[in-house]
Each structure stands twice: as C-alpha cells, then as structure tokens.
Structure 1
Amino acid sequence: MRIVIVGAGQAGAALAAKLRAQGHAGEIVMLGDEPAPPYQRPPLSKAYLLGEIGEDRLWLRAPEFWAENRIDLRLGQPVTAIDAAARTVTVAGEALSYDQLALTTGATPRRLPMAIGGGLDGVFTVRTLADVDAMRPEFHAGRKVIIVGGGYIGLEAAAVASKLGLQVTVLEMAPRILQRVAAPETSAHIRALHQSHGVTILESTGLDRLEGTSRVTGARLADGRVLPADFVIVGVGITPNTQLAEAAGLAIENGIATDALGRTSDPAIWAAGDCASFPWGSGRLRLESVGNAIDMAEAVAANMLGANEPYLAKPWFWSDQYDLKLQIAGLNTGYDHIVTRRGEGDAVSFWYYRGATLLAVDAMNDARAYMVGKRLIEAGKSPAPEVITATPDLKALLKG
C-alpha cells in the first residue's frame, strides 16, 4: 500500500514517522514544496532570526532518518492537482498514484493588498525559512522597522528586533494587542513588557497604505500620520492551504473538513495540522499550533492503519518574548471572568472561567501554573476561583 503525504512540514513529518513506528511496511512518499527538509517553524522568528542557532538546528530529523526509514522525501516538488477518482496527485508534471492520501498542506500568511503597498520591496512575512532568510539582512541596530499586527508572530518579531537594537513600532488596528486570542490582563502584561524594551505600540491604529515607489519607505496611518520605516513585517494571521482539496471536491469548512478520525469527505484522503478542521463540541475547530500538528498527524497515521480512534485535541500553545515564556493551556473561547494568580518573582498566571468552568490558563514564567492548569483542564476539573488564588502549592489541586 502506497501512502502519499502532501506537505513536508511539522504535521507531514510527524505523520510519516508515526506510520513507520506503527508498523506500516508499504511505500511512503512525502512531497514538500520547499527545498528544505522538514523543519520546526517556531524558532524562525526567535532563535534563528537572532542568529543564535543555525539552519541545521531547525531540522526535525537528521538527514539520514528519511532514507533509513524508507520514506521517499521529495523536496521542491509542489503538488498541482489531486484526482480523487483516479487516486493520483500531479507532481513535477506526472501522475503519482496513491492508495491513501494525507494532506498536511499547512497555511499561508496573509499579506497586505498590492493596492496599499503589499508588493513593495522591504515588506516581509514570517512563515518559512526563505521568509526569514530574506529579512535577516535587514536587522541592523538603529534601523526603523514597522510591524503590522499585534499578534504573537508580530510581537515575537518585535522582541527580536528590539534585542538587536532596532527602533520598533507595532501597529494594531484592534483596541489592544492580542485581542483575538487573549484576555486584557495578558495583553496588558505583554504590552508593558515591550514598552519596557523601548517598543512603540500603537493600538486602535489603522494602516492606510505603505509609502514608497519600489521599496517601502514608511507607513501612512488612517489618521494621516506618516511613520518612516526601513522595512516592514506583516503579521496579520494565516489562512489554511485548502486550494488542492477544494479543487478535488473535498468538503471545506474553516479548513479541510475531517471527521473525528481525521478522514475527509473522500474515504481515501485524510488531513491534519493547520490546514484541517475537526469536530469539536457542537461545531468544528481548526488549531494553529505545533502541538496540534503533531498530535493530530500521529492520530491520523494510526487511523490510516485501522486504529479507529477519534482525535481528542488537548490544546496548548507557547510564545517566547525577551525573557518571558508564555505557556497557554486550553481554549479561552466564551470566558466571562479572569482569575489572576501571582507566583514567585515575576511569575503570573491568568485563569479563564466561564461561570464555574475552568477553560484555559495563560502562564507567564510560571511552568507550574501551566502544568497544573493543563492537567486540570484535560481532566475536566474546575477548582473554584478563590481556591486558585489561595492554594499555596497548586499541585495539591491535582489530588482533589
């Protein structure tokens, strides 16, 4: 049985490795559109951009792993079409047949429209190794960088730029940074951190257009102000790569729609990672995280081999900015109040509740709060808010 995997990122690599670990003896072909072997993305906007690690430290597996495990890794070979009826994918102009197909196509960063300067030289996004390699030469002390978007990607890039001595301005159209993903308490904590490092954060600030003829020279704001810039980084979210699936007639719903096993509307095609949505409660969920990419891909690999085990997501995320390590457990959607717990030193955690139900935890430099919160959420336990703040040792909550 030949299994073809389209996408050689975190999810694709995890899926291929799990197939072999689970005993699949047939062919595995993994097709990647980038020339680089499977690599981890989170360090791109942090340690790699800072120059603290080299490219080889990004690799998810040693180069020899793929051949040793008889995984036919084909790089720089984008798939251009799927023929679901014939069970083939078109790659390098040829039709490659499959018995089962896994789509781990990931996502693409949203870009600014060409009409407002999105195509100017000196305007970058942060998603791929090539993206970061292209922008690295721009990072010289004293230069001015404008970051459009106050989400985690933009703020991580802002932290790196600040550490390297650049003059950094973050533009956020919403009333506060991280508004879509975090409580006001978390936004305020991270805003203060950036401001203490000299970063200018402009909230409730719209971008009218980028200035410049061939290369960006600044940003004209919605209120008419013009801010000079040597270069611009755009961090305004990502969109799932569903084009191949949609053209093949697969169901699309906030990504490639799968059932609880990770199977798409075609019984021979599966999907995992940033590109895929799956059943969650009474609706559907698509998670953009390394944890989900790995966990869902491994669950799909097992189900491709007949495990028939529903994927049960355990959402967790993280972000590193300066000396802050933010760890997030759970999903805060629908919260109605926040409990703040102070830890030792600069540690603090924010606990999201809907009524009496604990939904999520944002832990900053507080690994214990993150670990306990994650285990409580996964176990379906919700200590009363006053217990969270009054218990000296959070680990005691796990015994209750």
Structure 2
Amino acid sequence: MNPLGWPGYDDQLRRARERTGGAESVSWRRGADAVVITFDFRFLGGSVGTATGAVLEEAFGEALAWGLPVVSVIATGGSRMQEGMLSLRQLQRVARLCAVHREAGLPHVSVLRNPTTGGLWASLGAGADVVVGVAGAQVGFAGSRVRPGDDPAYTAEGQFAAGTVDVVVAEGDVDEVVGRLLGLLTGGGAVPAEVPRALGATDLPEDGWSAVERARAPERPRAAAYLDDYFDHRVALSGDRAGGVDPGLLCGIGRRHGRSVAYVAQTGTATTPAGFRTASRVIRLAGRLALPVLTLVDTPGAANDAAAERAGVGAAIAELFAVVAQARVPITTLVVGEGGSGGALALSSPDHTWIAPDAYFSVIAPELAAAILKRADVRELADDLMLRPQDLVRLGVVRGIAEA
C-alpha cells in the first residue's frame, strides 16, 4: 500500500478510510443489469493507485463472468502522486480491462461527475461506449491545479461541444438516463430494422425536376419526424470523439417494438467530416453490440468548403464507406429527402436501401451537373439523371418505395 515508502502516506490512507468508511477510492457492486463502479472523491481526491487498479480488475472480472455491462461513475483527480509511476501504470491496466470487456461484446457507460480529470478521464471515462456528463462537472485531462487557466472547455458542456461527451444531464436525472441506456444497449438481434413508413407525399413525381422540388420543399417531413414516428423512445449519441460535432446529423439508439436499433440520420444539411466520423463510430458500436442499424439519408451532399477539406472530408467519407461495407449487422436505409452524391451514398446500405415518394437520389445535384456539363437546361437534365423514386427502382439502385 506504500510501495515508494512515501512519508506520511500510511496516515493519509488511514484518515481517508476513517472519513469514507471505504478501503479504497473505488468500490463496485453487481446489480441485475450491470456492474457499477463508483469513485469516492473524499478518498484522496478519488485518485488511483495500485490497490485501486486491483479493485477495478475485480469489477471488470465480475462483469465478464456474468456477461454484464459496466457503469463507471467517476469523480477523480487522476493518478495518486504518492505511488509514482506505479500509479500511472494503472492507466494501462484500465485500458486492458476495458479492451477485454469490449471484445466480449459488452457495453460500457461512463458517468462524469465533478471533477473528472487526469488519466482516468483519458482512459476509463472517455474510452466508454457512451459518455454521460453531469451538468456543471469539471471534465478534462488537465486538472484545476495544472492547467493554464479556467475555460468552458474544461466542463461537461465543453466536452459535449467538442464531441467527446454524448449527453449532458442534471445530477438528478443520471440514474434514469443510465437505466434507459442499459436497456437500449442490448437486445437488438440480427434481423434488419424495419423500413420506416413514408410520412410525406404518397404519389410519385411526374418528372425529374418535380422530384427535386418536392425533396427540397420546406414542409417535407424531416429526420426528426421520422425518428419520432419510428421509435417508442430513444437516447441520442453525439460527437466523433475527435473534437467534432455535426449538428445536422442525429445519432443514437432507440427502442422499437421491444427491440433496440441504432440510428444515423441526416437532417437536410451538408454533412461535415465530423458527421461522417460520428456515423462510423455509431455503426461500429452497433456491430460490436449486435444491434441492427437504421440510416436516414437527406443531404444535398458532403460539405465541400475549405474547412471541410482541412478536416479531412475525403478520408472521413472513405472511412464510412469501409465501415458500412464491413458491417457485421444489417443496415436498413431510407432516403427521406435529398440524396446528394457520395455524401448520401456513404450512409446507404448496399443492398437494403429504400426511398420515400418525395425524395430523390442522384449522382450529383442537377444544377451542379449542368455546370460541369455546360448545359443550361437544368430541368431536362434532371430527367436525364433518372433520379425519381420510380427510376431508381427500375435501375435497381433502391429496393422499393416506402409506403405510408
């Protein structure tokens, strides 16, 4: 317990045990739905030493033995200085425990309480499948005593904005949100998700330009309406875990007729590199947890400004194409609006894509095709592109047209 012979450390441990009633800064219990790991910040700032690592190993071992998810309720200042590098090496131990648990196909939810800083944020916290931040909590790799200054970036809300926290909730809502998540992260199955019903027009467009106009109409039902109609309830997931969030992409896991389904839905905006990376992350998670996937396509195309290029839009799209191609779970796609070029195709199932009557799917927008081909007849070109739902069925691009 005092591997470095640190002066006064034995007394510090004794006082911490008297104050908290616990043997270490971390404890765990096995419930019916999960193994719950809880940090006690009153015990030397929730810091992690060699004995703490042993407790965490016990907890993950119990989760593996019973095939249970892990919920990590974290409040820590990081590694324990009094144990030097032996303390820091516990981060590698934690990473291995999480990796073995992940490979077993079991979910991990972390809850970031105040504060969550240091190496445990960068391993047990940020490495979870779903990261729940408590509103107002201090969250960051650098703790308050070592960072250059205070900034909103060092909060749960700041981490949410940066794409490393999925959802921020009030302290009193944590149990409800985590309970709902645990119910959603299991129970999917290998059967493809059902095709959503069409919520807009039911008749088919007469010509190509009419199809484009209907897909662009402001009153057309958007992704949020389809998700509300499709799921009994759902929990959103946010962020690409690389510093980016695309507000034009809705992702998460929902419950439909007693079955969990992961979803990725475009909302009519140009999808950014962060959006494509978030989609890849959610589909990978669904594959590991054996959840079917529903994707809703609605975008004029991928973001093509200079910022998108600097953020690696091409590589992000390529990654998503590969993730979809290698998916170990069935993916169902419904084109609900504009299906613009590769930015839409990247999110589409290769063999289970459907289209709504008031949507279109095209190699490129008619206006852009006209500019490339130096043609002035945009309306006629829309017909030549054969982008209507009925054209796409005939070409074998989609399996069918969704019904109301």
**Which TM-score band (shorter chain)?**
under 0.3
TM norm structure 2 = 0.22
Q: Which has the higher contact order (CA 8 A, sep 6+)?
A: 1
Bigger share in strand: 1
TM-score after normalising by structure 1:
0.22
Larger Rg: 2
